[in-house]
Chain A
Amino acid sequence: MITIKNLHASIDGKEILRGLNLTVNTGEVHAIMGPNGAGKSTLASVLAGRDAYEITAGEVIFEGTDLLSLSTEDRAREGLFLAFQYPVEIPGVSNVNFLRTAINEIRAYKGEESLSAKDFMSLVREKSALVELDSKLASRSVNEGFSGGEKKRNEIFQMAMLAPKLAILDETDSGLDIDALRIVANGVNQLKSPENAAIVITHYQRLLDYIVPDFVHVLYKGQIVKTGGKELALELEEKGYDWIKDAHPTV
Chain B
Amino acid sequence: MANYTEENLAEELENQEYKFGFVTPIDSDTIPIGLSEDVIRLISNKKEEPLWLLEHRLHAYNVWKTMEEPNWAHVKYKKPDFQNIAYYSAPKQSKKYESWDDVDPEMKATMAKLGISMEEQQRLTGVAVDFVMDSVSVATSFKEKLGELGIIFCSFSEAVQNHPDLVRKYMGTVVPTSDNFYAALNNAVFTDGSFCYIPKGVRCPMELSTYFRINAGGTGQFERTLVVADEGSYVSYLEGCTAPQRDENQLHAAVVELIALDNAEIKYSTVQNWYPGDKNGLGGIFNFVTKRGICHTNSKISWTQVETGSAVTWKYPSCILKGDHSIGEFYSVAVTNNYQQADTGTKMIHLGKNTKSTIISKGISAGKSQNSYRGLVQIHKSAKNARNFSQCDSLLMSSECGAHTFPYIECKNSTAKIEHEATTSKIGEDQLFYCKQRGIGEEKAIGLIVNGYCKEVLNQLPMEFAVEAQKLLTISLEGSVG
Residues of chain A at the chain B interface (Cβ within 8 Å): 48-52, 71-73, 75-77, 81-82, 84, 87-93, 97-106, 109, 114, 117, 141, 158, 162
Residue-wise, chain B 432-454 has the 8 Å CB interface mask toward A (1 for contact) of 01111111111010001101111
Q: Is residue B400 contacting chain A, with contact meaning CB distance below 8 A?
A: no
CA distance A35 to B60 in the complex (A): 77
Contact indicator B439/A71 (Cβ below 8 Å): no
Please report B residues at the A interface, Cβ cutoff 8 Å: 5-7, 428-431, 433-442, 444, 448-449, 451-456
- B434–A87 touching, CB < 8 Å: yes
Of the listed residues A52, A81, A88, A97, the one surrounded by the most CB atoms of chain B closer than 10 A to its CB is: A88
Partner of B439, one of A51, A77, A90, A141: A77
CB contacts (< 8 Å) of A101 on chain B: these are 6, 440, 444, 448
The residue on B at minimum CB distance from A82 is: B437
List, in ascending order, chain A residues with CB within 8 A of B452's CB.
90-93, 141
Query: A93 and B451: CB pair below 8 A?
Result: yes
Would you call A90 and B6 a contact (CB within 8 A)? no
- B3 (CB) vs chain A CBs: closest residue: A117
Do residues B6 and A88 form an inter-chain contact, with CB atoms below 8 A? no
Taking a contact as CB atoms under 8 Å apart, the answer to whether A92 and B451 are in contact is yes
Would you give the shortest CB distance from A238 to chain B, in whole angstroms? 35
Q: A72-B433, A101-B6, A104-B7 are in contact. Are A162 and B455 (CB under 8 A)?
A: no
B454 touches A162 (CB 8 A): no
Q: Is the CB of A76 within 8 A of B449?
A: no
Per the bound structure, the CA–CA distance linking A98 and B455 in Å amounts to 14
A105 touches B451 (CB 8 A): no
A89–B436 CA distance with the chains assembled, in angstroms:
14
A sample of 17 cross-chain residue pairs with beta-carbon separation below 8 angstroms, ordered by A number, consists of: A50-B433, A73-B440, A73-B442, A75-B437, A76-B436, A76-B437, A82-B437, A84-B437, A88-B431, A92-B453, A92-B454, A101-B444, A102-B435, A103-B439, A106-B439, A114-B5, A162-B438
* Cross-interface CB contact of A102 among B439, B442, B456, cutoff 8 Å: B439
**Contact check: which of A81, A93, A158 meets B448 at CB < 8 Å?**
A93
**For residue A158, which residues in chain B have a CB less than 8 angstroms away from its CB?**
438
Contacts A82-B437, A84-B437, A93-B448 known; list 5 others, CB within 8 Å: A72-B436, A93-B451, A102-B439, A105-B444, A162-B439
Complex contact A88–B454 (CB within 8 A) = no
Q: Is A88 a contact partner of B453 (Cβ separation < 8 A)?
A: no
- Judging by beta carbons under 8 Å apart, are B436 and A88 in contact? no
Find chain B residues with CB under 8 A from A88 CB: 428, 430-431, 433-434
Q: Is the CB–CB distance between B440 and A90 below 8 Å?
A: no
Collect the chain B residues with CB atoms within 8 Å of residue A105's CB.
439-441, 444
State how many angstroms separate the Cβ of B20 from the closest Cβ of chain A.
27
**What residues on A are CB-neighbors of B454 within 8 Å?**
92
Q: Chain A nearest CB: distance from B161 CB in Å?
A: 47
CB-CB under 8 A from A50, the residues of chain B are 433
B449's contact among A49, A71, A72, A93, by CB below 8 Å, is which? A93
Among residues of A, the one whose C-beta sits closest to the C-beta of B362 is A92
Bound CA span A48–B6, Å = 24
Q: Across the interface, name the chain B residue whose C-beta is closest to A72.
A: B436
The answer to whether B436 touches A73, judged by C-beta atoms less than 8 angstroms apart, is: yes
- Inter-chain CA distance A90–B452, complex, in Å, is 7
Q: Are B439 and A76 in contact (CB under 8 A)?
A: yes
- Chain A residues contacting B441 (CB-CB under 8 Å) are 73, 105
Is the pair B7, A90 in contact by a Cβ cutoff of 8 Å?
no
Contact A73 to B431, CB < 8 A, known contacts A92-B451, A114-B7:
no
Contact between chains at B6 and A104 (CB < 8 Å): yes
The docked-state distance in angstroms from the alpha carbon of A99 to that of B435 is 10
User: Is B436 within 8 A of A90, CB to CB?
Assistant: no
Collect the chain B residues with CB atoms within 8 Å of residue A52's CB: 429
- The answer for the CA separation of A100 and B448 in the assembled complex, in Å, is 12
CA distance A236 to B433 in the complex (A): 33
Complex Cα–Cα for A91 and B448 (A): 10
Q: Hey, which chain B residues are within 8 Å of A82, CB to CB? A: 437
Q: Are B438 and A102 in contact (CB under 8 A)?
A: yes
Whole-angstrom CA separation of A93 from B450 in the bound complex: 9
B295 to chain A, nearest CB (A): 29
Q: Nearest Cβ distance between residue B273 and chain A, in whole angstroms?
A: 22
Smallest beta-carbon distance A18→chain B, Å: 23
- Given the known inter-chain contacts A88-B428, A88-B431, A92-B454, please indicate yes or no for A71 contacting B448, CB distance below 8 A: no
What A residues does B453 contact at CB under 8 A?
A: 91-92
A101 to B10, CA, bound (A): 11
